């Protein structure tokens, strides 16, 4: 669990750094944008973390977690709530959400999945235990 916490923290910081230095370097430092990229990357990483809970001897593709339809329903509901919070103007204003481009969302999604992929690779190479 500690390993995954470190990985998602690094993923969030990586998303902010990538966004700042690749997409928005001419704009200068924008704390609202960086805060929102970090916020959404951490949410995405946490939503995907449930897929790391496979039992010893199973893979992410053939585990009791990925076969559980309620896990997928809950992920979809959480994503719908997240989109609603971003798209519904009064809610996004209350949360002080900054408008993000499609490239920002690509970075967020990529780094959210990066945490899952790194954790799965760490299990395959026995860097961490494969226990839920």
State how far the Cα of 38 lies from the Cα of 16, in Å rounded to an integer: 6
pLDDT tens-place values along the chain, 132 residues long: 678 788 888 998 899 989 988 888 888 788 899 999 999 999 999 999 999 887 777 788 888 888 999 999 999 999 999 999 999 999 999 999 999 999 999 999 999 999 899 988 888 888 776 554
Q: Decide: 111 and 16 in contact? Cβ < 8 Å.
A: no
State how far the Cα of 66 lies from the Cα of 108, in Å rounded to an integer: 22
Among 81, 99, 70, 91, smallest CA distance to 44 is for 81
Domain ranges of the chain: 2-124
State how far the Cα of 126 lies from the Cα of 123, in Å rounded to an integer: 5
Q: Decide: 100 and 37 in contact? Cβ < 8 Å.
A: yes
pTM of the shown model: 0.86
Q: Decide: 91 and 84 in contact? Cβ < 8 Å.
A: yes
């Amino acid at each position: 669990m500690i390993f995954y916490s470190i990985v998602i923290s690094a993923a969030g910081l990586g998303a902010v750094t990538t966004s700042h230095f690749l997409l928005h370097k001419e704009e200068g430092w924008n704390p609202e944008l960086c805060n929102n990229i970090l916020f959404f990357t951490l949410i995405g990483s946490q939503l995907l973390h449930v897929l790391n809970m496979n039992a010893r001897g199973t893979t992410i593709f053939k585990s009791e977690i990925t076969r559980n339809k309620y896990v997928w329903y809950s992920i979809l509901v959480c994503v719908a709530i997240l989109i609603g919070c971003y798209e519904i103007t009064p809610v996004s204003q209350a949360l002080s959400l900054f408008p993000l481009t499609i490239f920002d969302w690509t970075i967020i999604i990529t780094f959210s999945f990066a945490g899952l992929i790194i954790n799965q690779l760490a299990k395959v190479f026995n860097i961490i235990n494969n226990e839920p």
